[in-house]
Amino acid sequence: MNKTELRQKVKATLSKVPSSDFLKWNISLSKNLSSFLRHENSENKVIGGYAPLLQEPVWSLDLARNAKLAFPSFNHEMIFKLSGFDCLEKRFDFGVEILGPCEQAEVVIPDILLVPGLSFSDVGERLGRGKGYYDRYLASFNGVRIGLCYECQMSSEIKTEVHDQKMNFIVTEENIYRIRS
C-alpha cells in the first residue's frame, strides 16, 4: 500500500471511531506517556509537544519537576517555542488553523519531542500528513523522538523514503513501543 492509500485507510478508520472511544483512549495514552516520561527522567527537560488536530491524540502530562513545554511554530521552517497549553493562541501555521505559541515566546530546542502521525510501525516508521514539516525538523534533531497515535493507527509496514525520519518510541493507549536501532 502506498502512502496516499494508507493515509486514506487510516482516516477512514478514524472517522468510524465513536467520540467516547477517543476520550477513553486519550486518558490511557496520557497515562502511558506520563509514566514513560517519569521513567525516562524528564526532569529539567524541554518537552516539545503539539496542539492536536482533529482525530490526533489529545495528550496531557504530569510534568516532572522543572520540565517545560514547547510547541511548534512556523518561521520559514518549523521551530519550537516555550509555552503552556493555557497560553496557546489560534494561528494559521502549517497551512491550517492550529493553536500555537505567541510570537514573543522564547525559541528553544526540545530535549524530547512528541510527534503526531497518521500511522506508525513498530520499527519506528512514521506516516505524516504529507507536508514534511516534522521530517525536515527531525533530520537535525538529536533528542528523544516519541510518536503518539492510537493503536488502530499502527501499521505493520510503512513505505518510507530517504527523507522519512524514524521514532525512538511510539506511545499508544495500549502500548509503549521501544524501537530497536
Is residue 84 within 8 A of residue 91, CB to CB? The reply is: no
Residue 33 confidence (pLDDT) above 90: yes
Is residue 94 within 8 A of residue 114, CB to CB? The reply is: no
The residue among 74, 171, 173 whose CA lies nearest residue 132 is 74
Decide if 98 is inside a domain.
Answer: no
Decide if 171 is inside a domain.
Answer: yes
pLDDT the model gives residue 94:
64
Decide if 28 is inside a domain.
Answer: yes
Decide if 6 is inside a domain.
Answer: yes
DSSP 72-138: EEESSSEEEEE--GGG-EEEEETTEEEEE--TTSPEE--SEEEEE-SEEETTS-EE--SS-HHHHHH
Domain hosting 136: range is: 1-71+108-116+131-181
Give the CATH number of the domain where residue 150 resides.
3.40.50.10420
Number of helices and strands in the chain (H, E): 3, 13
Segment among 3-17, 20-34, 37-51, 63-77 with least mean pLDDT: 63-77
Residue 110 confidence (pLDDT) above 80: yes
Summarize the confidence of residues 87-115 as an average pLDDT: 89
Q: What is the pLDDT of residues 144-158, one digit of tens each?
A: 999 999 999 999 878
Decide if 12 is inside a domain.
Answer: yes
Taking the C-alpha atoms of residue 178 and residue 24, their distance in angstroms, rounded to an integer, is: 23
What is the CA angle 30-71-139, rounded to 5?
A: 100
Q: What is the pLDDT of residues 124-177, one digit of tens each?
A: 999 988 777 899 999 999 999 999 999 999 998 788 777 889 999 999 999 999
pLDDT the model gives residue 107:
96
